[in-house]
Amino acid sequence: MLKLLESADVLVHNFRSGTLEKWGLGYDDVLQSLFPELVLCHVTGFGADGPLGGHPGYDAVVQAMTGLMSINGDPRNGPVRMGTPVVDIGTGLIACNAILAALIERGRSGLGQKIEVPLYDCAISMLHPQAANALMSGNIPVATGNGHPNIVPYDMFETRTGKIYLAVGNNGQFAKLCAVLMRPDIAADDRFVDNAARIAHRAELREVLAKCLAELEAETLEDMLLNAGVPAGVVRNVSEALAHPHTIYRNMVVEMGKYSGTGIPAVFDRTPGSIRRAPPRFGQDSRKILLESGYSEAQISQMEEHAIVFGAGEVDSGQL
């Protein structure tokens, strides 16, 4: 590890707090002095200290503990785990941003630093807008199903051919929605004249819109509303979304040999990225990395023999 760190900018790990110290690789007492430019990012469950410090954390458990489950799902059914591991994914993105910020700062100071990114802290930061609502009002946020707690209409509706989601964020968009539905009188109704009124009369407005949408076709309505400047979308399953023409056009599905996966969502103008290889197998590149780090074939074979390195043999990246 110390040999590999000689040429490394960043070390990321998610072992429990104290593990690197137990191995003689602690940042404060070893790594910082050996590699003063190294940025170390430690992803933890709850942080190293505090009432829950040092405990292991998992996405679903942290969702439960931070209130994320309590604001998800149908209010009649109680708390529901979010379908994607939003805490894991969000923590990864926050960790990436933190690492990049530390590298920029290193360019000014010449020094690396240690970063701690706990799942728990990240989950709390993602409670939007519910945390602000609770802190400012003193009220306990509750699940609102598919509806937005602060904006109306921002909800899912049934059409003749499937479900559609309306995300009407302002009065102008609401007027356009009513125009597309050929019901301008709805926008003029005192009960629905602005967002505050629409929140106060949420149930009545939902009933009115549900009747208007019930006999329309979801795909046609999506096209009409988007062209009119109203955020709206057909509710699709994952396979339908992956096969959608826009997904294909945006190169968000990549196929390479037997591998299929999603593409790169950030489009760089001057230095565009691309998927050039399938995800490697565990240990697929170990031998290559060790050779680049100055180890001999004999030394690598000895490490394999003693189970220090696993699966270091070269594997075709197209094989799965």
Rounded Cα gap, residues 53 and 55, in angstroms: 6
Per DSSP, the three-state class of 128 is coil
Rounded Cα gap, residues 119 and 45, in angstroms: 5
Minimal CA–CA distance to 4: which of 284, 312, 291? 291
Which H, E and C letters describe 41-69, residue by residue? Answer: EEEECCCCCCCCCCCCCCHHHHHHHCCCH
Residues tagged active-site: 88
DSSP state of 78: -
Q: How many CB atoms lie within 10 A of CB 33?
A: 9
Cβ density class 144-170: b for 16+ within 10 Å, e for less: beebeeebbbbbebebeeeebbbebee
Beta-carbon contacts of 203 under 8 Å, excluding residues fewer than 6 positions away, are none
Beta-carbon contacts of 198 under 8 Å, excluding residues fewer than 6 positions away, are 152, 153, 174, 191, 192, 205
Lookup result for tokens 């979304």: 241
Radius of gyration of the chain (CA): 26
